[in-house]
């Protein structure tokens, strides 16, 4: 069984954590995040955030580790930020952006134009001879993952040639084609 909920979360310099009723608020140089919690107790003591539970029920054990991880992700996000990188593999696949509007050419009869949330910063890198890369950055880990998954969903990597949108560093299971 995981004991991750018992570990305290260190608060770095420049980050403030406040707990009011059942809401925790984390402010840092990159932004502000809030999270509601229940069935556990969150305390800020001596530069650390402690998450404790009052009983050992199955629900409380699960939420103990969950809320500790959420608090850690919030603190890391407002201090350092979160980044996801997507790679477009395929002939003619292109990506460009103007501000927070992403324009994707993925082999369909039309380009896909996505307007991203203002919290997410997008950057596209297109080097000659290399696959285009989309970099998504934000202070909210859940939002970055959700946007990356939505973009990846437009053209999932297929197992025969590996064409599609994949995460940088993702290893795909490849299948053998027809045997002649």
pLDDT in tens, the chain (180 residues): 458 888 999 999 999 999 998 999 999 999 999 999 988 999 999 899 999 988 889 999 889 999 999 999 999 999 999 999 999 999 999 999 999 999 999 999 999 999 999 999 999 999 999 999 999 999 999 999 999 999 999 999 999 999 999 999 999 999 998 886
Same domain flag for 141 and 88:
yes
Domain boundary among 34, 64, 79: 79
The torsion angles phi and psi of 153, rounded to 5 degrees, stand at -65, -20
Domain residues for 115? 82-167
Burial letters for 33-54: b for 16+ Cβ neighbours within 10 Å, e otherwise? Answer: bebebebbebeeeeeebbbebe
Same domain flag for 35 and 66:
yes
Report pLDDT for 135: 97
Tell whether 172 is covered by a domain. Answer: no
- Report how many domains make up the chain: 2
Tell whether 65 is covered by a domain. Answer: yes
Q: What is the CATH number of the domain that holds 34?
A: 3.90.930.12
Domain boundary among 55, 79, 103: 79
Report pLDDT for 2: 59
The torsion angles phi and psi of 18, rounded to 5 degrees, stand at -125, 145
Rg of the chain in Å (alpha carbons): 21
């Amino acid at each position: 069984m995981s004991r991750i909920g018992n570990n305290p979360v260190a608060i770095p310099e420049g980050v403030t954590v406040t707990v009011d009723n059942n809401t925790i608020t984390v402010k840092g140089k990159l932004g502000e995040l809030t999270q509601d919690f229940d069935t556990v107790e969150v305390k800020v003591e001596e530069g650390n955030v402690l998450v404790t539970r009052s009983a050992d029920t199955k629900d409380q054990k699960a939420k103990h580790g969950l809320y500790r991880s959420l608090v850690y992700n919030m603190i890391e996000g407002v201090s350092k930020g979160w980044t996801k990188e997507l790679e477009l593999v395929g002939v003619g696949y292109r990506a460009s952006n103007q501000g927070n509007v992403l324009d994707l050419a993925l082999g369909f009869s039309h380009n896909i134009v996505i307007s991203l949330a203002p919290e997410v910063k997008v950057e596209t890198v297109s080097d000659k001879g290399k696959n285009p890369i989309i970099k998504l950055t934000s202070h909210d880990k859940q939002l970055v993952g959700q946007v990356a998954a939505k973009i990846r969903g437009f053209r999932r990597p297929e197992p025969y040639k590996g064409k599609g949108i994949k995460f940088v560093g993702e290893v795909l299971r490849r299948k053998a084609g027809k045997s002649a």
